[in-house]
Structure formats: structure tokens, C-alpha cells
Structure 1
Amino acid sequence: MSTTPNEPQNPQSGVPGQPGPAQSGQPMPYGQGAVNGARQDGPNGQPSGQQYGQAGGKYGTAEYNPGQYTGLMERPSTIDRLLKLTLVSLGISVLSSILSIIGVLTADTDALLREQGGAAASQAGAADVARMVGTMGTVVGVIGLIISIGLYLLVYFNLKKGRNWARILGTVFAAIAILSGIFGLFSGTSGMSTGIYIAGIVLGVVKIVVDILWIVTAYKAPTTAWFNQNSVQR
């Protein structure tokens, strides 16, 4: 039987003039691009049309974690707390030193002389002695303040670098400060005014508490593990 001229044939349907599945608007099996009803898979066996990286991060990789492959622990929060306590202790130490210098400069002359074993300001040369005591106290206070700031900064910056000897040195300084602070609470006024004396007592108590917290934080388990890790790396 001959076909009608200009009548299209569909090789898939086998019937002249009858549209195939693609021409009739019916969806092809397993999406477009299927051949003979078979699903067309992409590379690595993935179905065609599936984008890469849907199950993971961008480009199929997981989010970057700096400690994932190195096996090193990140700096714990106790180190940040230790650094803050170091700066707080430094600030209190500076204030206490300045207050002490002011107290020496404004101290009662008679009280200073009696503390040094003198009789009173009326004795010969008492004014000169009081002036000399005040000058010496100021010089010693300023020198001590400069040394204290330098030691604090030495400990602070080396703690930040993870050096264990800085933790040990800071512990020694904190212990000495605690003992001297307790002793200072029971010492005399040294002729200082009542306001300066009370302010000095308050600062002394606060510094003792801060230094105790410093030592406790310095030897918590995460802090010790972090310092030990840095010691092994070096």
C-alpha cells in the first residue's frame, strides 16, 4: 500500500501521519533525552539534570574547618579570660601605685616622722627629713610602677603566644601580689588621708580577688592542654 504524498511518517509509531510521543506533547519516560524508554544518566551514574554539590557544600566540598586535618585544638575561651584578667590586674596595679605616690606626697609630716622613729615636726631638720622621705617614696613608687608595667606586658604578650614559661612567671607574680596585698590590708596608714587609705584598701581587696581568679584560670584543664600543645610544637 503506498503512502499519501507529503504525509509525514513517524518511525516510532509505524502509522503514517500519526505523531509520536515527542510531537503529541506527552512527556517522554524519565525526562527529556530518553532513548527507547531508557533513562539517560549523567557522569558518575547521576541522573541527567541533577546538579553537582546538592548533597554537600559548594562544588561538592564540606565547609572548611582549620582544625579538621591538623588535629590541633583551637585556643580555648579560658585563654581569652586569662588575658583579660592580666590586663585588669595591670590596671589595678597602676591605680594602686599612683594612689600610693599621691598618699606619700600628701601624707602628714608628723605621722611620717613618728613612723620613722622621730619625735615631731618641731625637731631640728624635721621638715627636711619629711621632704626627703616624700621624694624617696615618690622615686621608688615611679620606678616600681615602670618595672611592674614592663613585667605585666612581658607576661601578657607571651601568654598570647602560648608560651608556658609566661604562665609560670605570671603565677609567681600573682602569688607575691596576693601575699603582699594581704599584708597591706593590716599595715598602718603611714600618715595618709582617710580617703586615700580606704581607696587603697578597696583596690587591694579587688586585686587579691583578681589574682586568685588568674591563678585558677591559668591551671584549668583546657588552658593546660593548650599550653602543653604549644610546648610540644616548639
Structure 2
Amino acid sequence: MSTPPANPANPNEPENGKPGPDAPQPGQQPPAAPQYGQNAPQYGQQQYGQNAPQFGQQPYGQAPQQYGQSPYAQYPSEQPQGAAAGGVPKMVNNAFWMIVAAGVLYVISMLIAIPALNDPAMRSQFEDQMRASGADVDFESIKPVIIGMMVVIGLIGAGLYALVAFNVRKGKNWARILGTVLAALSIFSLFPLSIGTISALLGIAAIVMLYLPASAPYFQKQQPFGGPYSQPGNPYGR
């Protein structure tokens, strides 16, 4: 007869009347087996009920760094220079309103000059100049032409003031250069003293303000065609 195979020894069962090393001691419950449906600890969870830091969390209590922020300090030209609403520096905004005021005074000076054509002294001076040049021109016949030229010059001047003012507020450097040229030409209109003198002084003062340290960096912004490494906020490509 064949001998039936012996069952493997259970370490918890007593062997020769002695309990095994893993057998529960008197008064202790045997360890319960995991029930069906319970999962093993997930990946990233530590023992003893502690969870590992989730993805994206910084260790040691540090705040997570947002995507796109440079770890380096901003350059002085990128830091706000007392910016007003819309990110425009206050000095640039003040210069904008000064240029607008200068343009308004310029238009007023041209409107005042049109009725002055009826001054007898101006009429006499004009006729004397015409006779000295040998031209037989009557003042009344040429007066509409003079008024039309003054209106056209006034409209062109007002348009130039508006062009410089609104583009300077947007940070366009070419507008600042154009304003510099116009301010240099307006020096010849300082005399005789009139409303035009105040307009010229306001324009010159506004252009000077645009070159001060508080407003000059606003016109040195990187251009979009300068390449991806020259965009603001990138520490490289400077």
C-alpha cells in the first residue's frame, strides 16, 4: 500500500505539542486575513497611513511655483515704474495730457489769428509789402486764400499733436522722436509772446519728461520680431 502524502506543516499549529513561532499567544486574536475587495496600498502611499507628496507639490512646505514665472529677478526696465491705469507710467500719462493741452492751445491761437486779419494795421502792412514787391494784389481778394491756408495749417498741426500724444501713451518710440523734432521746431514760435508761446512751452516740457528715468524704460520694450529669447520675462537673450 502507498503512503498518503503528508500535508505541509502549518507554522501556527503545534509541533510535537509545542506552539510554532508565529502562533498567537494566549489571549491574542490571530491576524485577520485581508477581505475580498480590499486593495493593497496604492503607489506613492507610505506605510503607517502616511501619504507621499502628490505630483506638483513642493516638499518641506514650499509653495508651488506657477508655470511661466521666471525664477530670476526682473530687470529694472520690466518692473512697474509708478504705472497708472493700463500700465502707463504716471509721468508718461502726464506728458500725454500736456501734449493734448498744447494742441488745444495751438488750435485756439490759430482761431484767434483769423479775426486779426481785419486789423487795419495788419492790412496796411500787407499792402505795403505787396507794393514793395511790385505785385498788384488787393488784400480783400487774397484774404480768403490766407484764411484757407491758416485753417489747413491749424488742422495739420492739431493732427500732429494728436498723433504724437496718443502713440506716446502707447509707448511708441517713433512718436517720441517725432515729438522731439516738432518741439525743436516750435522754439521759433516762442516770440512774440502769445497763446502759441504757452503751447510751445507745454509741448517742449512734455517731450523732456518722456526722456526722464521714470518714463524712458517705457519706450524700450522688446519688439515682437526680436525673437523668442528677447521677450520680456525671459532671463536669457538680453
Taking structure 2 as the reference length, the TM-score comes to: 0.51
Question: What displacement does 1:141 show?
Answer: 1.3
Question: What displacement does 1:69 show?
Answer: 5.7
Deviation readout 1:185-228 (Å, 9 max, x if unpaired): 12x36xxxxxxx2x3322322221111111335984x4476447
Is the CA contact (8 Å cut-off) linking 1:101 and 1:137 kept in structure 2? yes
2:101 to 70, 86, 92: 92
Equivalent residue of 1:44, what SS? coil
Structure 2 gap segments, 5+ residues each: 1-25, 29-46, 131-135, 232-238
Q: Residues 111 and 230 of structure 1: is their aligned pair in 2 closer, same or farther, counting only changes over 3 Å?
A: farther
Deviation readout 1:89-130 (Å, 9 max, x if unpaired): 54134213311321222214335445646369xx98323333
Q: Give the Cα separation in 2 of the matches to 1:170 and 1:227.
A: 16
1:118 to 118, 128, 135: 128
Q: Which has the higher helix share?
A: 1
User: Which range is displaced more, 99-108 or 144-153?
Assistant: 144-153
Aligned to 1:178: 183
Q: Residues 217 and 107 of structure 1: is their aligned pair in 2 closer, same or farther, counting only changes over 3 Å?
A: farther
* Equivalent runs, 1:76-225 vs 2, <5 Å: 76-77=80-81, 80-81=88-89, 83-85=92-94, 87-109=96-118, 110-113=120-123, 116=126, 118=128, 125-150=138-163, 152-154=165-167, 156-157=169-170, 159=171, 166-167=172-173, 169-186=174-191, 188=192, 197=194, 199-217=195-213, 220=216, 222-223=217-218
Q: Percent identity?
A: 12
Q: Give the Cα separation in 2 of the matches to 1:148 and 1:113.
A: 31
Q: Residues 148 and 210 of structure 1: is their aligned pair in 2 closer, same or farther, counting only changes over 3 Å?
A: closer
Q: Give the Cα separation in 2 of the matches to 1:229 and 1:75.
A: 19
Aligned to 1:35: none
Q: Give the Cα separation in 2 of the matches to 1:202 and 1:156.
A: 22
Q: Give the Cα separation in 2 of the matches to 1:152 and 1:105.
A: 26
Deviation readout 1:13-36 (Å, 9 max, x if unpaired): xxxxxxxxxxxxxxxxxxxxxxxx
Question: What displacement does 1:42 show?
Answer: 0.7
Aligned to 2:50: 42
Q: Residues 152 and 133 of structure 1: is their aligned pair in 2 closer, same or farther, counting only changes over 3 Å?
A: same
Equivalent residue of 2:202, what SS? helix
- Note the aligned Cα RMSD (angstroms): 4.4
Is the CA contact (8 Å cut-off) linking 2:92 and 2:169 kept in structure 1? yes
Q: Give the Cα separation in 1 of the matches to 2:156 and 2:48.
A: 84
Aligned to 2:10: none
Taking structure 1 as the reference length, the TM-score comes to: 0.51
**Quick check: 1:68 aligned with 2:70?**
yes
Question: What displacement does 1:150 show?
Answer: 3.7
* Equivalent runs, 1:46-57 vs 2, <5 Å: 55-57=61-63
Is the CA contact (8 Å cut-off) linking 1:85 and 1:214 kept in structure 2? no
Q: Give the Cα separation in 1 of the matches to 2:201 and 2:211.
A: 16
Q: Residues 136 and 229 of structure 1: is their aligned pair in 2 closer, same or farther, counting only changes over 3 Å?
A: closer
Is the CA contact (8 Å cut-off) linking 1:174 and 1:215 kept in structure 2? no
Aligned to 1:192: none
Kindly name which structure, 1 or 2, has the bigger radius of gyration based on alpha carbons. 2
Deviation readout 1:17-68 (Å, 9 max, x if unpaired): xxxxxxxxxxxxxxxxxxxxxx9451239xxxxxx999244xxx24x37542
Is the CA contact (8 Å cut-off) linking 2:183 and 2:204 kept in structure 1? yes
Q: Give the Cα separation in 2 of the matches to 1:174 and 1:147.
A: 9
